[in-house]
Amino acid sequence: MKKLINRVEDVVTDALSGMQALHPELLRVDFENQIIVRADAPIRGKVGLVSGGGSGHEPLHGGFVGHGMLDAACPGAVFTSPVPDQMLAATRAVDGGAGVLHIVKNYTGDVLNFEMAAELAAAEGIEVASVVTNDDVAVQDSTWTAGRRGVGVTVLLEKIIGGLAETGAPLSAVAELAQRVNAQGRSMGVALTSCTVPAAGKPTFELGEDEMEIGVGIHGEPGRRRAKLASAAEIAEIMVSPILEDLSLKSGERVLAFVNGLGGTPLIELYIIASELAKTLRGKNITIARSLIGNYITSLEMAGTSITLLRLDDEMVRYWDAPVHTPALCWGM
């Protein structure tokens, strides 16, 4: 296992120390509760946005804490759900009296723990709503999930509803937009290599020198099938076809196209996938109105990519374009 780490058991805490050291103007790390909180939280009258999940997917979620996006993030151990106590502490830390929305990726542990945290917070008088993302079209159920997995749309959702929450919109409106973004987004990923969880010390799965895993999950969980490595054009097609079908995207519609790297794939390859994706969409008269490319929801050092398409409406575009200032996404301010 070749990693830039100290002790395996300190990986998450050491990384949090790095976040604290580099971004003091944006966030503070509460090491006792193992949460990342926006520097100016809680903000009176603003809906607090809390997300979280296992570590190993950076910058998700901690890298999205800041103005115009998340108010707090709860990082679990690598590929392990955070615990309800973290989520409760985060909920308390960001409650500005307007309620708190939990943004939960659909994995069994995350869902159960966020539910428990929401109950505990409600018992303290904090109004909590939740949205569960489940945009991965690859598989219906998986080793980690009942129903579809939550992946790339989570990033887009956190940005878009972060923009709305910043305006002082009520919890019901923020939750409603969150549900709409999730409903209009679909994703699929392909892995060229496995990744190694530090505590395991060996690759999560084995993949032959000429193989790829189609529909891989962000923890390396199995996808639809294993296949021989193909060209970027073919791989893009394998990902985008089920997305287009599932979203029933039609000629004349516009999307946000998100080409995501899984951690070990260089940007030059992501742009090649983007080129193929753009060709396919052009051929169907679907407009790429907004885009995002880079490593935003990763699986440690896994080589591979995922594509997320989000059918845009005017409100989504407005809040996508709204100012954001976080370690990983920043524009407009």
Number of residues that bind its own copies (CB under 8 A): 67
Residue of 27, 303, 307, 310 interacting with its own copies (CB under 8 A): 303
Residue of 173, 232, 242, 317 interacting with its own copies (CB under 8 A): 232
**Token pair for residue 215?**
């529909």
Residue of 42, 48, 53, 63 interacting with its own copies (CB under 8 A): 63
- Contacting range for its own copies; rule: CB under 8 A; set: 20-28, 124-132, 149-157, 179-187: 20-28
**Token pair for residue 44?**
């009176």
- Report the Cα 261 to chain-centroid distance in Å: 12
329 touches 159 (CB < 8 A): yes
Please tell me whether residue 14 binds its own copies under the rule CB under 8 A.
yes
Measured CA to CA, the distance from residue 81 to residue 144 in angstroms comes to 11
Please tell me whether residue 227 binds its own copies under the rule CB under 8 A.
no
Residue of 17, 140, 241, 285 interacting with its own copies (CB under 8 A): 17
Q: Which residues are CB-contacts of 232 (< 8 A; sequence separation ≥ 6)?
A: 269, 272, 273, 275, 276
- Asked if residue 61 has a cis previous peptide bond (ω within 30° of 0), the answer is yes
User: Of 10 and 141, which CB lies nearer to its own copies in the complex structure?
Assistant: 10
CB of 194 to its own copies, least distance (A): 12
Residue of 98, 157, 160, 300 interacting with its own copies (CB under 8 A): 300
Whether 219 sits among the annotated catalytic residues: the reply is yes
CB of 277 to its own copies, least distance (A): 8
Pattern 246-265, its own copies, x by CB under 8 A: -----------x-x---xxx
User: Of 26 and 49, which CB lies nearer to its own copies in the complex structure?
Assistant: 26
Residue of 202, 268, 283, 314 interacting with its own copies (CB under 8 A): 268
Please tell me whether residue 201 binds its own copies under the rule CB under 8 A.
no
Alpha-carbon separation of residue 72 from 29, 52, 164, 249, 263 (angstroms): 10, 8, 16, 34, 23
SS3 108: helix
User: Of 47 and 156, which CB lies nearer to its own copies in the complex structure?
Assistant: 156
For the four alpha carbons of 245, 306, 58 and 290, in that order, the dihedral sign comes to negative
What phi-psi label fits residue 294: left (phi over 0), alpha (psi between -120 and 50 degrees) or beta? left
State the Cα angle at 13 between 198 and 261, rounded to 5°.
55
User: Strands, DSSP E only, in 115-156?
Assistant: 128-133
User: Which residue, 197, 232, 201, 236, is CA-closest to 218?
Assistant: 197
Please tell me whether residue 74 binds its own copies under the rule CB under 8 A.
no
> Which of 23, 57, 67, 102 does the annotation list as catalytic?
57
Whether 102 sits among the annotated catalytic residues: the reply is no
Interface residues toward its own copies, by CB under 8 A = 2-6, 11-12, 14-19, 21-23, 55-56, 58-59, 63, 78, 192-193, 209, 212, 229, 231-233, 235, 257, 259, 263-278, 288, 291, 293-295, 298, 300-301, 303-305, 325, 327-328, 330-333
